[in-house]
Structure 1
């Protein structure tokens, strides 16, 4: 195909390149009908197909999720000692935007939007799973580098596309108010659980203290124990005085003397009362008397029950304070999810991009036609070479025989 002027290597190189380029142009010119016709036909078909496709509009909304979590309750965690360290260590860490995107992609949000906009009829789906899949394919969530979340919804109706995008933002704001996705929310749940446990333990401790008081009769440890001891001492003193008086009466009174008999009865009553104070068990039912022999054991049991009540009271007060502060922080954090750019009704379609599709189709078809033309030229030149032409004939014969077989 190319003619080479043999006047040295440099002359051969400089003369061969333009001749090859001209040969290539000649080859393209021989197939100009296919190189022009095929792209035009393909472009026409692509244009017809794209014009048959419905216009799709994109509604987009840009939201600003919480950027930082700092609550007043974090400054008071030290009041709980080791428990405060547990709460801070377990609940530290900020919620990434992927968490909010996961919430937007949840089945709860999808079902809510499907029911609200009747998307099962819009997408012409029979099963809820198919409706969710269609909504998922029509929605795109983008976690931007600027820390914002972009929600894009494609729909044939521009108004519906904007409404669904705004509904996603509303659902996210509502979920952040009901679910513990912020640090304050997780802290509130943690301390609320601990508060409920402390409340139950306090109630059990108070019941145990009440049962101890009813069973032992000990109501106030220090005052009642002191009163019991003083009562026993007074009884002993009265008994001693009455015994002295009886010994004195024996010197001048007979055994049947009424005064002497009354003094003996009084002495017996004092001794019985002392025996009750020292050894008699508490009978309950409002009886607050305690045997002096049992005062140490009863006092120990009472002190333990009272200590449990005071301990759980302190825990309950501290946890209640932390819960209230976490509620304040949670209410503040839940309002941080803001819509920066609400979705508006799009005035231009997003797809299909008909001109771009037609141009790409024509370009790809032209490349295919050029490759096809080049292949035909190579085959034609090969057939003009005696040795190569014979091999091509043998190949064709072999292929025909093989197809026959």
Structure 2
């Protein structure tokens, strides 16, 4: 019987301790109720005053269509050189009131966000500012900077192709200019003037086919008909050269005649090559524009921040947490001072802390 009573007493002891602990907690909260209630209210009032004094923010968003090149777009938009370019053109240092390029770029990083929209897969370039018109202007200027640097830095495969063709065109223009000067020399010009219209047409047509074949990397299956015509024109040109040589040999100007015909053919070849390169370059430029599809940002008519209610709630919650924590800490310190053993321990800690 005694063992059963002892067992019952032992089984009830944790419950009693739990009840006492809970009551102790409630007692601590009750003793410091003024601070626990008053501090969150004061913090909320101060936060509300500050939050409602803040100006409204407006966010304008430029949207970039889904593309395999989205990582490249993101890199360009985050590049310091691109930011510096936009900052200078829009005088962002004056707008943000910053001194120094790094400080201006830091403010740009806060104002401009590039995010992948999970809903539609678009890349969103969002600009936030107190002025809704300026926010839209900044977002759209970032889009223009993306386009300029994307093509200028030749980051896309299609841009690299266009650049290669532009380099070939520069070389073709130099060569054409050289032969333009050559065929306009008096002796060659007078020799070329003796050619019939049919002969000149044959030479120019042959040069055009050669130019097309150069760009194709050889004659493709689609150019079989052109190949037959080129062979006929080549045969005609060969007869023209032979007949011309016979005619000019009697006059003693065979070399000049051959040089004049060759210069005319070279000039026609480079001219035809430039014309075809221009068409291909323009086509690639159109494809570049189609590759980067953007929807311009509109001027926002609704504010995006600040979230004043959230600021007030977070401030009140933080103050509540701090006041409760302070109550328990202060209560623990008070109890430790009542305990002689704890006082001795605190004294040793204080002495050790002050000692060198």
Scaled to the shorter chain, the TM-score interval is 0.5 to 0.7
Q: Post-superposition shift, 1:102?
A: 5.0
Alpha-carbon distance in structure 2 between the residues aligned to 1:198 and 1:66: 38
Is the 1:182–1:330 contact (alpha carbons within 8 Å) kept by the matching residues of 2? Answer: no
Q: Do the aligned residues in 2 keep the contact of 1:60 with 1:343 (CA within 8 Å)?
A: yes
Looking at structure 2, the residues matched to 337 and 324 of structure 1 have their Cα atoms a distance apart, in angstroms, of 21
CA deviations 1:7-26 (Å, max 9, x no partner) are 46543333322321221111
Partner of 1:197: 171
Which residues of 2 match residues 216-227 of structure 1 at below 5 A? 222-223=242-243
1:372 is displaced (CA, Å) by 1.7
User: Among residues 101, 112, 127, which one is paired with 2:89 in the alignment?
Assistant: 112
SS of the residue corresponding to residue 161 of structure 2 reads helix
Show the 5 A alignment for 1:75-114.
96-98=72-74, 101=77, 105-114=82-91
1:60–1:342 contact (8 Å) kept in structure 2: yes
User: Corresponding residue for 2:62?
Assistant: 62
Choose from 349, 374, 380 the match for 2:328.
374
- 1: distance between equivalents of 2:321 and 2:71? 51
Name 2:15's counterpart in structure 1: 14
The within-5 A match list for 1:168-317 is 168-169=142-143, 171=144, 175=148, 179=152, 183-204=157-178, 222-223=242-243, 288-289=251-252, 314=269, 317=272
Contact 2:60 2:300 (C-alpha < 8 Å) held by counterparts: no
**Mapped partners of 2:140, 2:286: distance in 1:** 22
> Size of the alignment, in residue pairs?
299
Q: Equivalent residue for 1:361?
A: 315
Q: Deviations over 1:67-112 (max 9, x none)?
A: 47xxxxxxxxxxxxxxxxxxxxxxxx89832255258944333333
Superposed CA offset, 1:238-297 (max 9, x none): xxxxxxxxxxxxxxxxxxxxxxxxxxxxxxxxxxxxxxxxxxxxxxxxxx527xxxx9xx
Contact in 1 for aligned 2:66/2:123 (Cα 8 Å): no
Question: C-alpha separation between the residues in 2 aligned to 1:153 and 1:322?
Answer: 40
Q: CA deviation at 1:30?
A: 1.4
- Gap regions ≥5 residues in structure 2: 1-5, 195-239
Per the alignment, residue 281 of structure 1 pairs with: none
Of the three residues 343, 351, 355, the one matched with 1:389 is: 343
Distance 2:57 2:139 in 1: 12
Q: Secondary structure at the match of 1:39?
A: helix
Residue in structure 2 matched with residue 40 of structure 1 by the alignment: 41
CA 1:394–1:101 in 2, change beyond 3 Å: closer, same or farther?
A: closer
Q: State the match for 1:321 in structure 2.
A: 276
Shift in Å at residue 376 of structure 1? 1.9
Counterparts of 1:123 and 1:95, CA distance in 2: 28
SS in 2 for 1:96: helix
Counterpart contact for 1:47–1:354, Cα < 8 Å: yes
Asked if the contact 2:62/2:295 (under 8 Å) is kept, the reply is yes
- CA shift at 1:327, angstroms? 0.2
Q: How far off its partner does 1:47 sit?
A: 2.1
Distance in 2, matches of 1:388 and 1:129, equals: 54
Instruction: Work out whether residues 172 and 273 of structure 2, in 8 Å CA contact, stay in contact via their aligned partners in 1.
Output: no
Q: Note if contact 1:185-1:327 (Cα within 8 Å) is conserved in structure 2.
A: no
Q: Provide the C-alpha distance between the structure 2 equivalents of 1:33 and 1:201, rounded to a whole number of angstroms.
A: 92
Confirm or deny: 8 A CA contact 2:40 2:317 kept in the other structure.
yes
1:58–1:152 contact (8 Å) kept in structure 2:
no
SS of 1:60's partner is strand
Q: Which structure's CA Rg is the greater one?
A: 1
Contact residue 48 and residue 312 of structure 2 kept, 8 A? yes
Name the structure with the higher helix share: 2
Query: SS of 1:61's equivalent?
Result: strand
Q: CA deviation at 1:197?
A: 0.8
- Structure-2 separation of matches of 1:16 and 1:391: 26
Counterpart in the other structure of 2:24: 23
Q: In 2 relative to 1, CA 393–102 (structure 1 residues): closer, same or farther, beyond 3 Å?
A: closer
